[in-house]
């Protein structure tokens, strides 16, 4: 996807599934990226490795992108269905 625009940022996998389902049923092409803050490496190792799993939770962030031409349609579909 060449010219893409960020549609939504989710912190919950269930919300991501709902968003992708709406986009699929509307035949809107999308891309998404997953960022996990628990697995970031620094000079002393990962945060999870340094502090353990206690209260680690799900620190994943999901960013959904659509083409700029589909952005308004996708935004309206999400507003109508979420």
Q: How does DSSP assign 20-36, residue by residue?
A: HHHHHHTT--EEEEEEE
Q: Which has more pLDDT, 59 or 43?
A: 59
Residue 70 pLDDT level (bands cut at 50, 70, 90): very high
Instruction: State what percent of residues in the chain have pLDDT above 90.
Output: 57
Reported as a pLDDT band with limits 50, 70 and 90, residue 25 is very high
The whole-number pLDDT of residue 59 equals 75
The residue that leads in pLDDT, 38 or 82, is 82
Q: Please tell me the pTM assigned to this model.
A: 0.72
- What is the helix (H) or strand (E) element at residue 48, kind and residue range? helix 47-51
């Amino acid at each position: 996807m060449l010219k893409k625009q960020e549609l939504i940022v989710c912190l919950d996998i269930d919300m991501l599934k709902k968003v992708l389902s709406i986009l699929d049923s509307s035949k809107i092409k999308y891309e998404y990226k997953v960022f996990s803050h628990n697995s970031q490496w620094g000079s002393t190792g990962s945060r999870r490795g340094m502090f353990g799993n206690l209260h680690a939770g799900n620190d994943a962030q999901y960013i959904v992108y659509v083409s700029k031409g589909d952005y308004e349609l996708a935004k309206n579909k999400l507003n109508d269905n979420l």
